[in-house]
A and B are shown apart, each in its own frame.
Chain A
Amino acid sequence: MSHSLEPSRLMVALHALPSVLLQSAFFVVPLCMTIALSFQETQYYQVQWVWSLTTWTEIFTTYYYWKILFNTVLMSLACVGLCAMIGFPIAYALVTRFQKWQATIKILLVFAFLTDAVLKTFGWVVFLDQTGPANFVLNFLGLPDLPDWVIYSRVSVLFGMVYTLLPFSIFTIYLSVDMIDKNLLRAAYDCGASKFRAFYEVTLPLCKNGLMAGALLVFVLSLGSFLEPKVLGGGKNPMAAELIRQTFETRINWPLGSALTIVVISITVITILLASRLLDLGQGRKK
């Protein structure tokens, strides 16, 4: 018996090998290198392999790094909230109201995905700028200019982030709403539930996991927001990705940049772990 198992185990191992190699090459190895780099020092823009805690001491004693990181988490949470609030009704309507248009709307969403983020972000700046088409149209209609904060502000950064990440939110929520057995709603109506009650008692709890997954995805992607704060935000609301870029590129401090990267990765991992525990609770009930 065990004899016949040997070759198949070998086969499994062989089949898994490319994946293991790819993962190591593109994920594990760079991560280990980043961690190793964070414990080095830099001198005259060159990494010195001396193994020290200098960068980590700097990180834990420099207030403004944490201010930027905190700002990043805050902006990401706001983005998560807005994406859920806007994405849910859209996804819900896609399933329940616009079945006819579903295909068209999905294609449009995919196009939104495929359009280059750089082009989209720059496009918004040009559109919303003082002398842009938005104000031109408003003035043409005899309306006042857009207020100053529509561009180069925290609001515009958030707008850009929501705009970029909303499709992720819509898609995950859409899937979870679409997967709900329509008979469950009928059953709720049959039990005497109003439309609102059926939504609250059945639809909402059943797409909780979709909402959570979408929120997690949006949150993780938000943490890496780069173009929005830089372009739409006018650079005055720096977020983590820009801090890391500046540290690597402008300051050429690779150990410090690596350490900051590790901090952001840690925030991401901790969030995912916390979220997956929450999701597990939801799933445990179903099992």
Chain B
Amino acid sequence: MTMDKFNQSRKRAGRSPAVWAPDPNRRAVLKGMAATAMTATAGALGPGKARAAGSMNYMCWEGYNDPRIVDPFEETNDVSINFDLIVDSPGGFAKLAAGGHRDFDVVSTDSPWVQRMGPANICEFIDPAEFQDVYDKFYPQFQPPFEPLQFDGKTTGLPTRWGWVGPCINTETSDPDEWKTWDAAFDSKNKDKIGIMDWGDWPIMPMALYAGIDPYKELDQAELDEIRKVLRALFANSRALFSDLSLSQKALLDGSVKTLVGTGTYSTSGLRKAGYENIVAVVPEGNENKQGIIWLEATAIVKTPADIDLAKAMMRHVTNKEAAYALTLNDFTSNPSPNRAVEALYTEEERSVLQLDYVDTVWENSVLHKVAPNIDDLLVIWQEELANAN
């Protein structure tokens, strides 16, 4: 219970959280508790296909349950939504795959886990033509067929939030020019000054890219060995692995780490929103291969929802301008939307929190995050190198 309460305030656990400290932001904690209570109530009521008409079971990350998003939808459609908040993406997927898909209507989670719902046969594919009105509002990069959400030529979901993974730095203690490449993370002058997020695939992918390997294709043994070497060197130069958002943010703020590997806007935006404009998430620039990573969250319809039209209405709702605005400016993390209409709603300050002026550089230097065919091997390598790190 205690753990759960903290879980809610930390996302990206999917990546592998499991350790949670109280968020410095008290509201977030209180919200988290309220959300837990709500989830508990939902659980007690027992979601199931035999549920009363006019209700919907929604599995999502914290943020999608924001009243600014939920209330208008409930009112318009005369429906009440039961939320099941995800504390880690793989966990959420495992729950759906283990039979939970029969209980849920809609899910909002990390894009690789939405993409995986295709082969797992636990989602309703959508027809992009049917959602043309939604795509019309999206930036060109997200137009169909949008590869990170495609499976076997079919579309698994709609992107709802995005951000980038790259060096997170404190401009007061680090020169951003130094971080145009990941080299600095391996420099002996930064020994014990590197923080790594223990968030599943997030820290592995940029290191593979740094090794000049595209981790989103089938890898051979030599490439796996190369990634292993990079991880080994990274661990040797690092101060600590963090699973917790607030401790890593604190380390970045007080200068005890020069950078965080394996995160980006997800970690920096909360600090920027709190007024720390010296904290930025950048992507490596001008390298031979693109080394920045763009991550996404997507919303999908779970296999055989109770009311498919209602589920589709929710897909449209979370991508609309007003909902996107609430979703992108969360209390503890702020990340851009695929919907370009929302840009008109942002103040200068909000644009700065989201680092919107840096977005073009990001797209120029980044690859899209999706299912990596060898992710299981990479996770074993990660585990093994960690075991040998000391």
User: Which A residues contact B (CB, under 8 angstroms)?
Assistant: 44-47, 64, 67-68, 71, 116, 118-119, 122, 125-126, 129-131, 148, 151-152, 154, 227, 230-231, 234-238, 243, 245-247, 249-252, 254
Q: Which residues of A contact B238 (CB under 8 A)?
A: 236
- Whether B2 is near chain A, meaning CB under 8 Å from some CB there, is yes
Judge whether A237 and B242 touch: CB under 8 Å: no
Question: B12-20, B212-220, B314-322: which one contacts chain A?
Answer: B12-20
Nearest CB of A to B242, in Å: 7
Judge whether B255 and A131 touch: CB under 8 Å: yes
Assess A249 versus B240: contact at CB under 8 Å? Given A236-B235, A236-B386. no
Q: Which residues of A contact B98 (CB under 8 A)?
A: 46-47
Give bound CA distance, A9 to B243, whole Å: 55
Residue of A nearest to B240 (CB): A234
Judge whether A235 and B247 touch: CB under 8 Å: no
Identify which of A44, A116, A235 contacts B120 (C-beta below 8 A): A44
Judge whether A130 and B90 touch: CB under 8 Å: no
Judge whether A249 and B91 touch: CB under 8 Å: yes
Judge whether A237 and B390 touch: CB under 8 Å: yes
User: Which B residues contact A (CB, under 8 angstroms)?
Assistant: 2-3, 6, 15-16, 18-22, 88, 90-91, 93-94, 97-98, 116, 119-120, 192, 196, 198, 200, 235, 238-244, 247, 250-251, 254-256, 376, 379-380, 383-384, 386-390
Nearest CB of B to A255, in Å: 13
Nearest CB of B to A143, in Å: 19
Other than the known A126-B250, A129-B251, A236-B240, what 13 A-B pairs have Cβ atoms closer than 8 Å? A45-B90, A45-B93, A45-B120, A118-B19, A118-B20, A119-B21, A125-B247, A230-B19, A235-B198, A235-B241, A238-B383, A249-B18, A250-B200
Nearest CB of B to A19, in Å: 25
Residue of A nearest to B91 (CB): A249
Residue of B nearest to A233 (CB): B240
Judge whether A118 and B90 touch: CB under 8 Å: no
Q: Which residues of B contact A67 (CB under 8 A)?
A: 387-388
Identify which of A227, A231, A252 contacts B247 (C-beta below 8 A): A231
Give bound CA distance, A238 to B390, whole Å: 9
List 6 contacting pairs A-B, 8 Å CB cutoff, sorted by A: A45-B93, A64-B384, A118-B6, A148-B192, A238-B386, A251-B380
Identify the 4 closest CB pairs spanning chains A and B, nearest first.
A234-B240, A235-B241, A131-B254, A152-B240
Judge whether A46 and B120 touch: CB under 8 Å: yes
Judge whether A236 and B88 touch: CB under 8 Å: no
Q: Which residues of B contact A234 (CB under 8 A)?
A: 239-242
Nearest CB of A to B221, in Å: 17
Residue of B nearest to A116 (CB): B2
Nearest CB of B to A187, in Å: 49
Give bound CA distance, A45 to B254, whole Å: 39
Assess A251 versus B386: contact at CB under 8 Å? Given A45-B97, A118-B19, A235-B241. no
Assess A236 versus B90: contact at CB under 8 Å? Given A118-B20, A122-B21, A231-B19. no
Q: Which residues of B contact A44 (CB under 8 A)?
A: 97, 116, 119-120
Q: Which residues of A contact B254 (CB under 8 A)?
A: 129-131
Judge whether B243 and A235 touch: CB under 8 Å: yes
Judge whether A251 and B88 touch: CB under 8 Å: no
Q: Which residues of A contact B93 (CB under 8 A)?
A: 45, 252
Nearest CB of B to A85, in Å: 24
Mostly, the A contact residues are helix
Nearest CB of B to A157, in Å: 10
Identify which of B116, B120, B241, B247 contacts A122 (C-beta below 8 A): B247
Identify which of A64, A126, A249, A251 contacts B387 (C-beta below 8 A): A64
Identify which of A64, A122, A236 contacts B383 (C-beta below 8 A): A64
Q: Which residues of A contact B200 (CB under 8 A)?
A: 250
Give bound CA distance, A40 to B379, whole Å: 20
Q: Which residues of A contact B244 (CB under 8 A)?
A: 122, 231
Q: Which residues of A contact B196 (CB under 8 A)?
A: 235
Give bound CA distance, A235 to B93, whole Å: 25
Give bound CA distance, A71 to B255, whole Å: 31
Q: Which has the most chain A C-beta neighbours within 10 Å: B119, B255, B256? A: B256
Judge whether B240 and A235 touch: CB under 8 Å: yes
Give bound CA distance, A68 to B15, whole Å: 21
Q: Which residues of B contact A254 (CB under 8 A)?
A: 94
Q: Which residues of B contact A238 (CB under 8 A)?
A: 383, 386-387
Give bound CA distance, A155 to B19, whole Å: 20
Judge whether B256 and A131 touch: CB under 8 Å: yes
Give bound CA distance, A93 to B75, whole Å: 67
Judge whether A245 and B90 touch: CB under 8 Å: no
Give bound CA distance, A277 to B255, whole Å: 53
Assess A246 versus B19: contact at CB under 8 Å? Given A47-B98, A234-B240, A252-B93. no
Judge whether A243 and B383 touch: CB under 8 Å: yes
Assess A154 versus B390: contact at CB under 8 Å? Given A45-B116, A118-B2. yes
Assess A230 versus B243: contact at CB under 8 Å? Given A122-B21, A251-B379. yes
Give bound CA distance, A68 to B390, whole Å: 11
Nearest CB of B to A73, in Å: 14
Nearest CB of A to B165, in Å: 17
Nearest CB of B to A123, in Å: 9
Q: Which residues of A contact B388 (CB under 8 A)?
A: 64, 67
Nearest CB of A to B92, in Å: 11
Q: Which residues of A contact B235 (CB under 8 A)?
A: 236
Q: Which residues of A contact B376 (CB under 8 A)?
A: 251
Nearest CB of A to B255, in Å: 7
Q: Which residues of A contact B91 (CB under 8 A)?
A: 249
Residue of B nearest to A125 (CB): B247
Give bound CA distance, A126 to B94, whole Å: 34
Residue of A nearest to B15 (CB): A250
Q: Which residues of B contact A151 (CB under 8 A)?
A: 240
Q: Which residues of B contact A71 (CB under 8 A)?
A: 387
Q: Which residues of B contact A250 (CB under 8 A)?
A: 15-16, 90, 200, 379
Nearest CB of B to A55, in Å: 13
Q: Which residues of B contact A46 (CB under 8 A)?
A: 97-98, 120
Nearest CB of A to B42, in Å: 22
Identify which of A227, A235, A252 contacts B242 (C-beta below 8 A): A235
Judge whether A227 and B19 touch: CB under 8 Å: yes
Q: Which residues of A contact B241 (CB under 8 A)?
A: 234-236
